[in-house]
Chain A
Amino acid sequence: MNEQILIDSLAAACADRLPNRADVLALRPFTLDDVRSRASRFLALVEEATECAHDRANFATRNDRTLVQLANGARAVVYHASGALQFKAAGSPFESPFARVEERAVLTRIVTEAAQRLRLQEWAGDSGSLQFERLFQSKGQGADRNERIAEAVLFRATGAWRHLIGGIPVLGAASVALTLSGNGATEALAVHIRPGVAEKLDSAAIIAPETAARQVAANLASVLGNAKERLPGDVVASQTMRFGYLDLGKRKAQRVLAPVFVAQIVLRHRLETQAYVFAVPATERSYLDLPLFGTEAVVGRARSAGGKHCENGLR
């Protein structure tokens, strides 16, 4: 593997869109009551879009979220740590497919128009905006015993939008995702935008993308470890890197939005393909904990030679 080529490619992927400085932002703290009020606003929007009344909704609080059972089996979920919101309609995901496998441009127009009708832009906040990012399609197909293959059917189209604050994207899961069925009905809606920015904590200089790319390459080297066989020069199948803020996920409380670089790298060699996401700070000082490795397994026991469970039992 040629590390310098990887570093150059990653750096080039975002070099022309970088500010010299970017704000480090404190996120507005919120209470469970705030989350409930946000949920009410979301449910009113859902009711408007789907005629799914929420006046008799049943709220069930779980550890990290509140599950809201709506009429006819539809449901919404509110995540306590982030305020993220999700709605899923009742009914079968295979009902109401599209009449044909539409062109991407047509589907993009359909989801964009639906987002406008739902005024999803309003969730971006005063200093934010939403930008369309990607279209996903869910399709089905089948074959019989004679390998006769049926035509593919397009069942759902999902539009994904990115939240930007002061023109800087908040990376991570899509900020807003809207899934439509073939009859234009709202099948699912997710709003993963935190409740708001409280204040500017700092204005930090952005490091050169080459510096960040070098850190990403070091992270990659860490996970690759030492192999008996040397990796060939063309092992990196694709690579990209983006600059932005990073949302740490809907189940995590987060106090700060700080500039980061997020790289995606795919490696292909012999029988295994690997796809890694690496996040590294975009500032000299690190404002967010961005560990390369996650947690260890909850079970730490060794398996007995016979393959059965050890006598100390399962935790």
Chain B
Amino acid sequence: MARFGVEAIRYFSHARAAGVSTAGDLTYTFNRSNGFDSKLRAAGHVRAFYWANTDCWETDIRDVDQGGDDRSWVDDVDLFWLETHGGHEADGRARMLYDTPHSEWRTYSNRWQLGEDWNNEWVMAYSCETVDRNRVTGLWNIFARMHIYCGAWETMWDGITTDECGEDVADNLTDGDTVCQAWHDGVSDWWVDNHPITVCVGNAATWNNGNIRWDLSYLNRDHLWGHGNVDADLAPAQQACILWYWTEG
């Protein structure tokens, strides 16, 4: 079974008061993250941590080599669910806001190296715009051995009509969907356009000189532990391509 961690931020009053951001509070954050948590636990998966609001720290995802503590948190679980405000830099790096400066107010994905301790396989970020579809390669460094990053290439909607997304993703995972399918279907209500995108790396056989063998990709093959196949980790030296799959409305 899988070990998973959850970090979810609904209030951004400290960031606003500090002049770091003008971002508003979110409204149904915990409906999604509580739902994700309870569904996975009901299926026998183990919650390693669940931090909320100012207990969510950017050092939890920042690599140890970069002064962070990912080895104890995000890189210590198979699956990590994060919900906060997001965005990306011009060079494709993902960016996310926290409500406490521990040590910084924002995380930038050039400081992530996930999976290198052979633990993290999947990150799911219910946040706006953490992937730039024109610069997906800007995320390559996060795949130290991690398999799939699930995020959004534009807005992710917060409100009364998207409150079941966490339960939907978790149910999909435990019903046997691939991780990629679970994310795309789970966060899509086919009304508000949530812009889901999943990103993974592949080897030379998968790249196949540009004629991508999608059937060999993590996107096609990875399931949650206990619910189907999980492919072996791919070390950076074996990574020949970065692949992305998105839904647009």
A interface residue numbers (CB < 8 A to B): 63, 65, 67, 73, 75, 77, 88, 92-95, 97, 133-145, 147-148, 150, 153, 155, 158, 160, 171-174, 177, 188, 190, 220, 223-229, 231, 235, 246, 248-251, 262, 264, 266-267, 269-279, 290-300, 302-303, 307-309, 314
Contacts and interface: CB of A to CB of B under 8 A. Distances in A.
B243 A134 contact: no
A298 B30 contact: yes
B157 interface: yes
Given A139-B248, A297-B30, A93 B176 contact: no
B24 A144 contact: no
Interface stretch (B34-42, B116-124, B142-150): B34-42
B97 A274 contact: no
Given A137-B248, A277-B158, A295-B34, 20 more contacts: A134-B191, A135-B249, A137-B247, A139-B246, A139-B247, A142-B212, A145-B239, A174-B189, A223-B25, A226-B17, A229-B19, A235-B22, A271-B21, A271-B87, A278-B159, A293-B27, A293-B28, A297-B33, A298-B37, A299-B52
Among B50, B159, B249, which residue has the most Cβ atoms of chain A within 10 A? B159
Contacts of A248: 160
B110 interface: no
A297 B212 contact: no
A145 B240 contact: yes
Given A224-B22, A271-B87, A297 B52 contact: yes
Contacts of A134: 190-191, 193, 249
Contacts of A246: 160-161
The prevalent SS among residues of B at the interface is mixed
Nearest to B55: A303
B244 to A, nearest CB: 6
Given A144-B210, A297-B8, A271 B24 contact: no
Contacts of A307: 57, 59, 69, 72
A275 B156 contact: yes
Interface string B52-70: 1101010100000000010
Interface residues of B, number: 92
Given A142-B207, A160-B190, A75 B175 contact: yes
Contacts of A290: 160
A230 B42 CA distance: 45
A274 B85 contact: yes
A297 B50 contact: yes
Contacts of A223: 24-27
A279 B248 contact: no
Nearest to A291: B160
Given A142-B244, A150-B212, A174-B191, A249 B178 contact: no
B232 interface: no
A295 B37 CA distance: 14
A102 to B, nearest CB: 13
Contact of B55 (A136, A276, A302): A302
A273 B164 CA distance: 21
A160 B191 contact: yes
Contacts of B141: none
Contacts of B248: 136-137, 139
Contacts of B53: 297
A134 B249 CA distance: 7
B87 A153 contact: no
A277 B244 contact: no
